[in-house]
Amino acid sequence: MLQAAHRSSIDIKNSYDFYVLAVKEMNKDNITDAYLYCDRSRYELTNAVNDAKMNLKGLRLHSLRTISFFFKLYGLYAVVFGMLSTILFGLLIYRYSELTILDVPLWASFFAGLGSSAQILSGVVDDLRKEGAVIRYKRVWYTAIPLLSLIFGYMAYLLFSSGLVAFNVNSQSKIFSSMFVCFLTGFSTNWLIDKLSKISKNL
């Protein structure tokens, strides 16, 4: 929270001072005082955010700094990016699903992109549920996920259509199964990257 406020040009000096005191008391195993200083730090941060608001004839309105703070803290940039990515891939599926590259339909990559968009949104929700804020490195990483998922979706279709992964289904069901596999591939982009990184280290 302090980092998000500082990057939004909000004065966090008082809040940071109490945060340092809380850390010192925590290191001394003085839990009671640590929690008291932590609460005071949050209180000072709330005051700093309120002071950064605009005062319009006694009415406090959010300024660009406070809006930036909440966007950074709650990962709203990632949410907006995930929603726009969802709309984009949905439109691509609707308009260009018939196009192919080397006999591979582009909808395979687009469904993977749709899955990656779902991963972005679910990742933000998971961070907020567990931490109350979105981890900073993830906000940057989210922008690369859709591009990587396009490649993974393409390769997933090749693997699925080659017969290496066999399903005892008819032709129509196989198409829907392929779409679902590509979507899951896009949703599992992070997991796939971890596995591929481990394989490359062992080579």
Distance CA 159, CA 155 (A): 6
Whether 170 shows a pLDDT value over 60: the answer reads no
Position 100 pLDDT exceeds 90: no
> What is the per-residue pLDDT across 43-61, written as a single tens digit (0 to 9) for each?
999 899 888 888 877 777 8
DSSP track, 125-144: HHHHHHTSS--HHHHHHTTT
Q: Which of 49-53, 72-76, 94-98 has the lowest mean pLDDT?
A: 72-76
Separation in Å, CA 199 to CA 2, 145, 159, 191, 202: 38, 20, 18, 13, 5
Task: Give the residue among 141, 118, 154, 128 at the shortest CA–CA distance from 193.
Answer: 141
Rama region for 102: left / alpha / beta (φ>0; ψ in -120 to 50; rest): left
**pTM of the predicted model, to two decimals?**
0.71
16 vs 73, which has greater pLDDT? 16
